[in-house]
């Protein structure tokens, strides 16, 4: 089976980084710069594209986690859609097979430099062409997305072909990824321009799948010495915790970081 190396670019400076971030964004069919990529920023370049369920190490617990989440959260949810439930659970920190992405390369860059305790380590941004992944979908999912003339699923669209996680996994023997726009649960999802991915088999990580399949993808390594410059310029561009995590928690986190003296000891309190 094919195992390919994912191309990795290294950013030398801010200007070069911006050029790489918008790599392959020209769409000749419409003569516009409309990227078909989603992006994920990681604080450390060594991190894999593992989900919270992968890191839990107990994928068989998935149905129990979701069943109990639905049971205790039911009175606060208006639409009983399994894919909405899954999105809501991920959004609030339950271990799931979903992985967070964004349409915005600058939002991904925020997460790649989001933890100033790790500014001595290189960061990484992953970019995956979600349009290419459609070719690997089972026929029933292809029909839904083609009928809509879309490149990515909504929870409602996904529900037409798969009533839940067990049915999704039975659609095709070979594992496949699904890219999904979550419902606008709150301003955080909207402001982060959020997208989720999930594998039909929760034990398969998407970076492993990408290495075995023909899908355009690339990585951008963020050298540690660039992180503070990136952080300050993102702040000036209004890409920060106050905007991406609306509310008092995001505001406090932004202010704490904004006023820290990097010349002083920044050990955790």
pLDDT tens-place string over residues 123-133: 999 999 999 99
pLDDT tens-place string over residues 157-194: 999 999 999 999 999 999 999 999 998 888 999 999 99
pLDDT computed for residue 117 by the predictor: 87
In the structure, what pLDDT confidence band is assigned to residue 269 with cuts at 50, 70 and 90? very low
All structural domains of the chain with their residue ranges:
8-258
Helix (H/G/I), strand (E/B), else coil: 51: coil
pLDDT computed for residue 109 by the predictor: 98
pTM for this one? 0.93
pLDDT computed for residue 267 by the predictor: 54
Across the chain, the runs of DSSP E, i.e. the strands, are 8-10, 26-27, 32-33, 37-42, 99-102, 123-129, 153-154, 177-181, 194-199, 217-222
Residue entry with tokens 């006023």: 259
- How far separated are the first and last CA of the chain, in Å rounded? 49
């Amino acid at each position: 089976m094919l195992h390919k190396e994912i191309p990795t670019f290294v950013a030398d400076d801010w200007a070069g980084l911006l050029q790489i971030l918008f790599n392959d964004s020209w769409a000749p069919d419409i003569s516009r710069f409309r990227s078909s990529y989603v992006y994920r920023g990681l604080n450390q370049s060594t991190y894999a594209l593992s989900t919270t369920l992968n890191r839990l190490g107990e994928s068989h617990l998935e149905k129990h986690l979701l069943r109990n989440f639905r049971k205790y959260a039911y009175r606060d949810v208006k639409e009983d859609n399994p894919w909405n439930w899954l999105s809501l659970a991920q959004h609030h920190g339950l271990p799931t097979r979903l992985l967070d992405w964004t349409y915005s390369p600058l939002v991904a860059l925020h997460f790649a430099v989001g933890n100033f305790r790790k500014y001595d380590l290189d960061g990484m941004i992953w970019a995956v062409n979600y349009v290419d992944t459609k070719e690997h979908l089972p026929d029933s999912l292809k029909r839904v997305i083609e009928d809509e003339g879309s490149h990515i699923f909504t929870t409602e669209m996904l529900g037409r072909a798969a009533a839940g996680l067990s049915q999704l996994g039975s659609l095709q023997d070979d594992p496949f990824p699904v890219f999904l726009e979550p419902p606008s649960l709150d301003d955080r999802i909207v402001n982060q321009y959020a997208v989720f991915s999930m594998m039909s088999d929760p034990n398969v990580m998407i970076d492993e799948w990408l290495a075995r399949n023909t899908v355009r993808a690339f990585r951008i390594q963020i050298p540690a010495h660039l992180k503070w410059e990136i952080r300050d310029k993102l702040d000036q561009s209004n890409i920060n915790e106050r905007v991406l995590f609306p509310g008092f928690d995001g505001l406090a986190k932004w202010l704490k970081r904004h006023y820290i003296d990097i010349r002083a000891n920044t050990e955790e309190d």
